[in-house]
Copies of this chain bind each other. A is one copy, B any other.
Amino acid sequence: MISPHRYPARRDKLKRLIKKKRVPAVLICDETNVRYLTGFSGDSTWLLIGPDFERLISDGRYTEQLSRECPEVEVAIRPVTQTLIDATAKLISAQRISAVGFEATALSYAAVSRLKSALKKEELVPISGLVEPLREVKDADEIAEIRSAIRAAEKGFDYLRASLTPGMTEQEASYTIETGMRRFGALGASFDTIIAVGPNAALPHARPGGTFCSDSPFILVDWGAKMGSGYVSDLTRMIITGSISSKFRRMYEIVKTAQEKAIEAIAPGVEARQIDRVARRSIEQAGVGSKFNHGLGHGFGLQVHESLRMSPQADHLLKPGMVVTVEPGVYFPGWGGIRIEDDVLVTKQGREVLSSVPKELEQAILSF
């Protein structure tokens, strides 16, 4: 659980940023950012926040939930006859401020136009990337929530391995792992589970279909859990169900070695692109560099993909408290693909691998 004192502290940080931006207030419309700043888990609710005030704008469906989830924030409940935009404009005018910043990536062009017309004279200032950087470094409560999302995912994977039959389709297997995660406390999957048998694993974003789990000797499983707290996990493992080729063995070790080297390189102060480079160089030196055609990993927390990226272009510096996936892979059209993914916390000393599903090739074997 996220302690109640976390939310005011987050809003205080944001207020200091708002002061620096020299706007009197900012309108937070992104649902995940509202949740991060207030603890409110519903939708259709915006936060107007300035250095000296904060107000949630919502509707009657959420009165009870707001008083339970964020009792310390003042709430304006709009009547059914008033739109969220009109209620917001009214509240802005009542604050007697000259300008308001808004999240330019969260509001549609049409919503901004309507808000502009509803305002009398206040200027609207587009702002991007205000709350997202705050979310990159996780506090102790968030790390605990992420740990439980990883645990639910891992229990779900055990459940899938224990349930897998030769006649199960990819789609049935994806439902099975979700059932497993729910048995261990997850609300459900944190993204559409990827269960890709043999050649289907050649597509990094394969969708589970009617292929049987026994149609090829290996299965790629990319999955994660979403908890009631909103926090998620994201993992990938291979399951070997048949007789694998020497190519598979070789590729598996190439990916595993690259992943382990990259994890070892994670430390505070290191550039994210440097970690990507370690994995990429390792795969290149093994002669299959062109088969690793995506970034190495990404930050996650309340969302599966957050603003932090570990890719060749990423200019982030790693800091203690960041949580990232490390997921190199190689893909061969028509043959299949191999990816191994763990969840890693950047610590003051270096790193801690939060996930613990075994990844030695021998441990990936499952006999039907």
Residues of A within 8 A of B (CB): 61, 64, 80, 102, 104-113, 126, 128, 175, 179, 182, 203-205, 293
Contacts and interface: CB of A to CB of B under 8 A. Distances in A.
A129 to B, nearest CB: 10
B113 A108 contact: no
A110 B204 CA distance: 28
A93 to B, nearest CB: 21
Contacts of A179: 175, 179
Given A105-B110, A108-B108, 6 more contacts: A61-B204, A104-B109, A107-B108, A109-B126, A110-B126, A175-B179
Q: Which 6 interchain pairs have the tightest Cβ spacing?
A: A104-B110, A105-B110, A104-B109, A109-B112, A105-B108, A175-B182
A209 to B, nearest CB: 9
14 contacts: A61-B203, A61-B204, A64-B203, A104-B108, A104-B109, A104-B113, A105-B108, A105-B109, A106-B108, A107-B108, A108-B109, A109-B111, A109-B126, A179-B179
A187 B351 CA distance: 38
Q: Which of A108, A126, A175 has the most CB of B within 10 A?
A: A108
Contacts of A175: 179, 182
Contacts of A110: 104-105, 126, 128
A61 B205 contact: yes
A126 B113 contact: yes
Nearest to A182: B175
A128 B113 CA distance: 12
A147 to B, nearest CB: 21
A105 B182 CA distance: 35
A104 B64 CA distance: 33
A204 B42 CA distance: 14
A103 to B, nearest CB: 9
Q: Which of A104, A109, A128 has the most CB of B within 10 A?
A: A109
A64 B331 CA distance: 15
A64 B61 CA distance: 44
Contacts of A105: 108-111
Contacts of A205: 61
A106 B108 CA distance: 6
A105 B109 CA distance: 6
Nearest to A204: B61
Nearest to A187: B171
Contacts of A182: 175
Nearest to A189: B188
A195 to B, nearest CB: 13
Contacts of A113: 104, 126
A102 B204 CA distance: 31
A106 B110 CA distance: 8
Contact of A109 (B64, B107, B293): B107
Contacts of A126: 109-110, 113
Contacts of A107: 108-109
A127 B330 CA distance: 43
A294 to B, nearest CB: 9
Nearest to A81: B313
A175 B110 CA distance: 37
Contacts of A108: 104-109
A102 B182 CA distance: 41
Nearest to A80: B293
A207 to B, nearest CB: 9
Nearest to A64: B203
